[in-house]
Amino acid sequence: MEGPRVLQRVLFCRLLCSQRYSLASSGVRAEVVEAFDINDVANDVYEHNFGHRPCQGNIQTLTAGDLDKYKAHAWLLSPPCQPYTRQGLQKHSADARAFSFIKILNLMQNMSFPPQMLFVENVVGFEVSDTHDQLLAVLSTLSFNTQEFILSPLQFGVPYSRPRYFCLAKQESMCFPNPSVNDKLLRTPTCLTLNTTRTQNSYDQNEDDLEVVCNPIRNFLEAQSIGDKESSAIISDCKYSYYRYVKGTGSVLVTSKSLKPVPKENLEMSSLSELGLRFFTPREVANLHSFPPSFRFPDQISLRQQYAMLGNSLSIAVVAPLLCYLFAET
């Protein structure tokens, strides 16, 4: 698949570090014209790694003219996920945290230089929300073709279960490499790498039907932890509150090297202590997100803040091929 030959102007909104690293990993020739995030910590980390302070103003105060001045070919958007999470109230567009994204959609319709391509990421559940309906309605009005995905790092060789929703959109004058799956929601990355001769049914496989071969967990551990026992082939999603809480926030690592199997019905506190459980370190969580070794946190960022930021990050292993596909010229 051939990447773009011309320099693309790109605008980011939220989850900036993982978006920026994904863009770099994709091989797309791009100039980042601006990045927006209201979070101080996220902006500190972005500035530390990329030497630029993102715009921290309220997106809801922007006008169509403000966005026109960037003349960005592509927007990469990660709107707040809380309105759509299973644990939340699922208020969708009625949630105040959805207002900024809806404002951006409305502004697109009044711009003189709207983006030609759009990348939108969110949690699984966004695809059944009324905000999703508004997104597709606006894109249809502006003559965009869309292809939607629910993908996990597991499908890209990373032992990390973190399924996410993605929407790729291109103006009709710019074809996708595989236009046969326009207006479809796909659950495999097949069309990102294969040509259009594949049958439609090949895109409808479930993740469980794929022969997924993941790298071993030890490949993602820090050097001093290589001897830790690998308790599982797959790590569950490390969420925003990872490290502060144990239940429901993500996986922990078994470090015992002489562990004997214990039936679940006989599992007691004494046997749990023998497991030598520990949390994954921030560097290891970053590795599972496929952040490069050069990624660093500024000294003032606390451990809790590091885990929180990483818990909100995107998987570069997933997003990079999606961006390569989105920007590909046909």
| Catalytic residue set | 81
C-alpha span between 325 and 151 (Å, rounded): 14
| Contact (Cβ atoms closer than 8 angstroms) between residue 321 and residue 156 | yes
Can you tell me the distance from the alpha carbon of 13 to that of 205, in angstroms, rounded to the nearest whole number? 31
Q: Please report, for residues 233, 255, 266, 267, the alpha-carbon distance to residue 262 in angstroms, rounded to integers and kept in the order given.
A: 18, 16, 7, 6
For residue 147, the surrounding DSSP H or E stretch is: strand 144-151
Q: DSSP of 253-273, one letter per residue? A: EE--SSPPP--GGG--HHHHH
> DSSP letter at 299?
T
Closest CA to 243 of 231, 253, 232, 229: 253
Distance CA 313, CA 182 (A): 27
Q: Number of helices (H) and strands (E) in the chain: give both, helices first.
A: 9, 11
CA nearest 255: which of 236, 278, 223?
278
- Interatomic CA distance for residues 298 and 301, integer angstroms: 6
